[in-house]
Structures are given as C-alpha cells and as structure tokens.
Amino acid sequence: MFGGDDLRDLYVTTAAEVVRLSAAPSGYDFDAPHNGSLYRFRLDDVRGVKEHFANISIK
C-alpha cells in the first residue's frame, strides 16, 4: 500500500511464520520476531496511485 502526501511511501506488513531462505541478507536473524511488523520504504523512482472507490449498488 502506498501512502504519504506524494504517494512515494510503500508500506509493507508481515504476517507469516519464518521460512529460512538462502536469499536472506547476510546477518538476518531468523529467530527474531518479524511477524506483525510494519515497514515503510521511501521510493524515489516509483509513485503509487490514489485508491479508486467503486460505486456499486445491489438491488
């Protein structure tokens, strides 16, 4: 999900059990609690788009 005034902040949440992958960065602590975390990444080359709200009615 993108946020911030200019939609250049990317927010990522985690919710899973830890899987030990060989692609993890050097020094990554697999035993630390990572699930339920919220991360924010500032992106200079990418901008999100505003959320589109659909106008749906059920009759």
What does each C-alpha distance from 42 to 4, 12, 15, 52 come to in angstroms? 9, 11, 21, 22
- Check residue 31 and give its pLDDT: 80
Q: Which long-range contacts (CB under 8 A, 24 or more apart) does 48-52 make?
A: 48/1, 48/2, 48/3, 48/7, 48/8, 48/10, 49/2, 49/7, 50/7
Query: Which DSSP helix (H) or strand (E) runs through 13?
Result: strand 9-13
For the chain, 59 residues long, the average pLDDT of each consecutive 10-residue run is 93 77 80 80 93 88
- C-beta of residue 6 within 8 angstroms of C-beta of residue 47: yes
| Predicted local distance difference test score (pLDDT) of residue 41 | 95
pLDDT at 53 (0 to 100): 87
**This model's pTM is above 0.85:** no
